[in-house]
Every structure is written in structure tokens, then in C-alpha cells.
Structure 1
Amino acid sequence: MDEDKKMKVKREVMEWIKSIVFAIIVAVLIKTFIFNTTYVLGNSMYPTLHERDRLFTNKITMYFSSPGRGDIIVLKAPDNPDKDYIKRVIGIEGDIVEIKNGKVYLNGKLLEEKYIDKDAYTHTYDKNYWRVEKGYVFVLGDNREEGASKDSRSFGIVPVETIKGKANFRYYPFSYRFGKLK
């Protein structure tokens, strides 16, 4: 192989290496700042989410706005820093959440929850009344069976800064559950 061909091969190899390194950097930046994937373990969000569902979690919205009522979020588990939880935001800053006779009340009005089972009874543990402070949210799992979900009923209101992102799309399984989350 003459010297000219060797230089051409070296340049081509360097271009490939640069492209691969650039792609890795872009992938890490996207995963770190824009979106992530989440794997559902357990049934705390049933019937909305099922065990082994896979979701896209949008991180970028958290840089520009706080989560809203009804959003499904991924947060650092308040009781175990090595875990993440998936929950639904029920109350935001300034809200009063109360659970009476198995029903959730938001600011004194019965909360219409189309995402839970029709006859679901929302159990309470130590408390049944929460005032959501500035910089916090109140979260519940959609599965309201007793002991089915560790959420604000057991660990209280959650700092917004512990929220890792908003889950908004289920990409697996491809069958009947594929698509945008509600």
C-alpha cells in the first residue's frame, strides 16, 4: 500500500472515530437532560400502568415548569435513595388534599379520577389531610388497594426537586397499551 492510500485510510478511520464519539456524546446529553426510559416494576400505578411496561420520561419539561395535577411523574423514592417511584400528581403548591370515606378531595371538592378503578377505595394510613407547601407536590399511585402503593399517604408531600421527569408515552408493549399516557 503506498503512502497516499495509508493516509487516506487513516483519515477515514479518524472520521469514523469522531462520528462515533460525537454520537455517544449526543446520546449521553439526551439521556441526561432531555429524556430517559423507565421500566415499571410493581402494580402501584395499576390500572394505568402494568408491570414491565416501558415508558419514555420527559426530563426537559422539568427545567421550564413544575408538574401539573394529573401528570404521571418519576421521582426519587423518599424512603430509598437507590429507587425511583412512578406516581400521579394529585396536589400542587397551595392545594389542600383530604381523603374521606375512601375518596380524594382537592381543595374541598371531590376529585374526579377516571384513571382509577370505578369502585376503588383510597385508604389512609396515619393522616388524611395534607397542605401542599411551596416547592412540593402530593402524589398517589393509581392502585388504591391497601398497601399497593407507597406514596404521599405514607411519606408525605414530595419536593419538586426530587422529580426526575414526566412519563408521557408507553413504548412497550407494542400491543394494546402502546401510546400516550393519560
Structure 2
Amino acid sequence: MENPRHLNGRRKLVRVPRPKLPVWLDWVITIALGIGVALLCRNFVAEPYLVPSGSMLETIHEGDRVLGEKVTFRFDAPKRGQVVTFQDPDSADTTLIKRVIATEGQVVDLVDGKVVVDGQTLDEPYTLGKPSEAIYRHSKVLSEPISYPFTVPAGCVWVMGDNRTNSLDSRYYGPVPVSSISSRAVAIFWPPSDFATL
């Protein structure tokens, strides 16, 4: 804070020293601010995720750590091909990671092990040629198996794991509400040997 003083008929500013905080209080304030900024970033900007399964092989391996950014979907809807994290329809405490295959209004079909969207067979090199068959196992979410061709409802996306023969995805629990998507996966950051952008 600065106080005006008159010296020799001239106006001069004199700095009043601020009282010093104890060192321990300085540390507490610094740590609290750091934690606050980290929590804000995690909730609104980006969050790391540990991938516990092989449902996205060979794109993402079991044990990889993935960075999900949370800004894009505040302004834009998910698009086909993006890898997203979302709340497991079977368990609210679990976060899943899959690839968006179709968006609202699009028609999904499974023909001879291939995924067909709006009549076009998708080129999916990330599946390494694994067949995309229907999953008939009973789901907690669905009372009966999905019937194909299937039209994705408004406000939803159709997601599938890249490891098509070992992934419980929209073939199992149906379309995923866009509101349950938490982030767009942008990179594998750990371990360094698996580093890649998504």
C-alpha cells in the first residue's frame, strides 16, 4: 500500500511494508492454492485414467494411463472415431473407455463381422481384423438383446471397444447417453514405451 507524503513541497509516494506471514502459514497457503488449482483442472480441464482391461487392444493396452480432456465436449458433440471415457451403464462407480462408432440418428448394423453405419461398411484398421459380432449375453441394462439394424437415439452415441472379440460395449448395454461422457481421450502418457496420441 502506498501513502502520499509532502516532502519539500513535492508529493512523494512512500511504500508501507506489508507485515510478513510466518513461514509455516506461507507454506499452508501455497499448498492449499496448489490443491485447489489441481482439483479445478481435474474437474473441468483434464483427468488421467488408468485402463484396467484389454477391451481397446491394440490401440490402448491394459495398464496404460490415458489423458482425457474435458473441454471439447462442453462446446461440441462427440464424433465418430473419437475415443471417449464415460460412466459404465452397469456400474455408476466405474469409468469405461471406448471408441465412438455412430452418433444420434445413425443406423448401425453388423454384417459378416463388419460394422455398417448408414449403409457404409466402416474401415477400421484399429480392430486388426477382429470380427464385430453381436453380443447376446444378458445385460443389467437391457432386458433383451439389441436388434439390428439399430438406430442410435437422440442424445446418445454407439460405442465399441477396438478389441471386438473381448469388449462389452454398446452391443451389450446399448447406446450411451452423451451426458454420461466425461472426456475425450487424447493421449497415452504412461508407460513411455506406449506413448501415443489418440
SS at match of 2:60: coil
Aligned residue runs from structure 1 range 79-158, under 5 A: 79-118=90-129, 120-125=130-135, 126=145, 127-145=147-165, 148-158=166-176
Q: Which amino acid aligns with 1:108?
A: G
Aligned twin of 1:20: 31
SS at match of 1:75: strand
Bigger strand share = 2
Aligned twin of 1:61: 72
Return the TM-score normalized by structure 1.
Answer: 0.88
Answer yes or no: is the 8 Å Cα contact 1:100–1:128 preserved in 2. Answer: no
Residue 69 of structure 2 is aligned to residue 49 of structure 1? no
Distance 1:154 1:9 in 2: 59
Residue 49 of structure 2 is aligned to residue 31 of structure 1? no
Give the drift of 1:130: 1.5
- Which entry has the higher C-alpha Rg, 1 or 2? 2
Distance 2:122 2:58 in 1: 18
Aligned twin of 1:179: 196
Q: Which amino acid aligns with 1:89?
A: V
Distance 2:20 2:117 in 1: 69
Return the TM-score normalized by structure 2.
Answer: 0.82
Change (3 A) 1:37 1:9: same
Give the drift of 1:17: 2.1
Structure 1 portions without partners, runs of 5+: 1-6
Residue 177 of structure 2 is aligned to residue 159 of structure 1? yes
Aligned twin of 1:76: 87
Give the drift of 1:46: 0.8
Instruction: Give deviations 1:51-108, integer Å, cap 9, x for gaps.
Output: 0000001112121111110010111000111211110000011211110111100100
Structure 2 portions without partners, runs of 5+: 1-18, 136-144
Aligned twin of 1:3: none
Answer yes or no: is the 8 Å Cα contact 1:170–1:178 preserved in 2. Answer: yes
Aligned residues: 170
Distance 2:152 2:21 in 1: 63
Give the drift of 1:8: 4.1
Distance 1:8 1:41 in 2: 49
Give the drift of 1:14: 2.8
